[in-house]
Structure 1
């Protein structure tokens, strides 16, 4: 069985291997910064923020011991400055789906990815890429 710590490490390996954007513009929740400074979104261009949200665990089977399964969502918020064409942002969302959808790592399975157009927030335009996943 995969622990939450092992699943998080698997997610981080997959996020770190995403080469569509420079890793310096991908902010992952509560991760050590690449420099001594806190993450600052760029003034120009695309950037992302990544969240892992576990849902409650449940017993999915019984054998010598119970099999516990956890479901959840991997949420990737994608941003660009307001007033730019959304084509680049849509291409970025598609790149995340191509990179992560239906990936398996040990007992982690990333399922379907969806793109949600959030729209304008202050001076940014946002699209979220949301993946369902299961552990074990």
Structure 2
């Protein structure tokens, strides 16, 4: 049985291995400061924020002991400054899907990915790339 901590470690390894944009432009949830500085969105170019959202665990089978499964969403918010074409965001979303969709590592399965156009938010235009996943 894979624990939540083990699944998170796999997610972070997969996120870190994404090389479409600079790793410095990918913010993970509750990320420690880099060089004593909090994350600052770039003045130009793409950047992302990553969240892992577990849903409640449920019993998926019975035997000597109950088998549990956790499902949830991996959410990658992708941003570019307002006034740029959405082509770069679309390409970025496609790159995330190519990198993560249908990955199976240990007891973690990342399922289908979707690109959602969220629109303008403050100084940025936002797309969300959302993957369903299951553990165990």
Specify the TM-score bucket, using the shorter chain as the normaliser: over 0.9
CA drift at 1:63: 1.7
CA drift at 1:35: 2.3
Structure 2: 5+ residue runs without aligned partners? Answer: none
Equivalent residue for 1:76? 76
CA drift at 1:70: 0.3
* Aligned pairs, number: 136
Alignment of 1:51 onto 2:51: yes
User: What CA deviation, in whole Å up to 9, does each residue of 1:8-42 have, x standing for no partner?
Assistant: 00000000000001000000001223321000000
- With the length of structure 1 as denominator, give the TM-score of the two structures: 0.98
> Matched residues in 2 for 1:5 and 1:81: separation?
34
Equivalent residue for 1:91? 91
- With the length of structure 2 as denominator, give the TM-score of the two structures: 0.98
CA drift at 1:104: 0.8
> Matched residues in 2 for 1:31 and 1:122: separation?
22
Equivalent residue for 1:26? 26
> Matched residues in 1 for 2:74 and 2:34: separation?
21
User: What CA deviation, in whole Å up to 9, does each residue of 1:65-112 have, x standing for no partner?
Assistant: 111000000000000000001000100000000000000110000001
Structure 1: 5+ residue runs without aligned partners? Answer: none
User: What CA deviation, in whole Å up to 9, does each residue of 1:25-61 have, x standing for no partner?
Assistant: 0000012233210000000000000000000000001
Which stretches of structure 1, 4 residues or more, deviate above 3 A after TM superposition?
A: none
> Matched residues in 2 for 1:72 and 1:110: separation?
10
